[in-house]
Structure 1
Amino acid sequence: MTDAATQSRSVTVKRELAFPPEKIWRALTQPHLIGEWLMQTDFQPHNGHDFAFTAEWGRIECQVLACEPNRQLSYSWVSQGLDSVVTWTLVPTGTGTLLTMEQTGFQPDQRQAHMGAIAGWPRFLDQLENVLRRL
């Protein structure tokens, strides 16, 4: 039996985007583009690659866990006591792509981090859409 109070939580954001998966993949995996919508990074789309996101407030340590071009990208996201995983899934549709971002691993005592992700990811995806329009 699992105690609900000890289960980790997640944040999921889905967006139907009027862009092909290949274009979205570029914005998810090219460091100069990631820097425009998320944070500065030394990301490389290779399984096992260690990288970081950096911002004025600090640094997020990451490692690529899965990388299927134009389909799925997953990486660890470790910062300030949070040990989570971010997974991007791209599914082609008749009018573009269904993009799903899921961040898992928020512990019950990490309410502030969880609420920050709930508020932050939609804003990051808004910025991602702006970058995609300019590409």
Structure 2
Amino acid sequence: MTDAQTEALSVVVEREIPYPPEKIWRALTQPHLIEDWLMKNDFKPVVDHRFNFRADWGAVDCQVMAVEPNKTLSYTWAAYGLESVVTWTLIPTNAGTRLRMEQSGFRPDQQQAYQGAKGGWQRFFAALEQVLARVE
């Protein structure tokens, strides 16, 4: 029997964004801003807070696991049999912030969810950058 953890797949998106971590943190944690680039939600940056993301295709059930303002945010992401964890890491750089998102926990038999997430997060990142460009 193999260890499922070693076989689990992750989607990683990493970008250098020309804004300070504080500004990006707001876009990752304020519900009205999250809605602009990701989905409708009832998010609060509080450990153990249960919330969901809602879209026309359905909902994602989540629970906050870790909050370190302007540095790290992690929450579970469960939908359609997928039990995963999304972790955001913000690292200040000379030009702004290196923003890294990792969604881990895709099983090898969840190729459709995995491929969907790979494409989806690229779109979400593009939308996030548009939100950051227009908010103060």
Bucket of the pairwise TM-score, normalised by the shorter protein: over 0.9
What does residue 32 of structure 2 align with? 32
In structure 2, list runs of 5 or more residues that go unmatched: none
Q: 1:61-84 deviations in whole A, cap 9, x for unaligned?
A: 000000000000000000000000
Structure 1 residue 27: Cα displacement: 0.1
Distance 2:48 2:120 in 1: 26
Structure 1 residue 34: Cα displacement: 0.2
| Structure 1 residue matching 2:66: 3-state secondary structure | strand
What does residue 123 of structure 1 align with? 123
**Residue identity in the other structure for 1:112:** Q
Structure 1 residue 94: Cα displacement: 0.4
Structure 1 residue 3: Cα displacement: 6.5
Superposed counterparts of 1:1-135, under 5 Å: 2=2, 7-135=7-135
Structure 1 residue 112: Cα displacement: 0.0
**Residue identity in the other structure for 1:126:** A
Distance 1:12 1:91 in 2: 15
Q: 1:98-126 deviations in whole A, cap 9, x for unaligned?
A: 00000000001100000001111011000
In structure 1, list runs of 5 or more residues that go unmatched: none
- Count of matched residue pairs: 134
Give the TM-score normalised by structure 2. 0.95
Structure 1 residue 37: Cα displacement: 0.1
- The percent identity for this pair of structures is 62
| Structure 1 residue matching 2:48: 3-state secondary structure | coil
After superposing on structure 2, the runs of 4+ consecutive aligned residues of structure 1 that deviate more than 2 Å are: 1-4
Distance 1:3 1:64 in 2: 26
Distance 1:59 1:20 in 2: 31
Distance 2:62 2:92 in 1: 27
Distance 2:54 2:123 in 1: 17
**Residue identity in the other structure for 1:74:** S
Give the TM-score normalised by structure 1. 0.96
- The RMSD of aligned alpha carbons is 1.4
Distance 1:38 1:3 in 2: 32
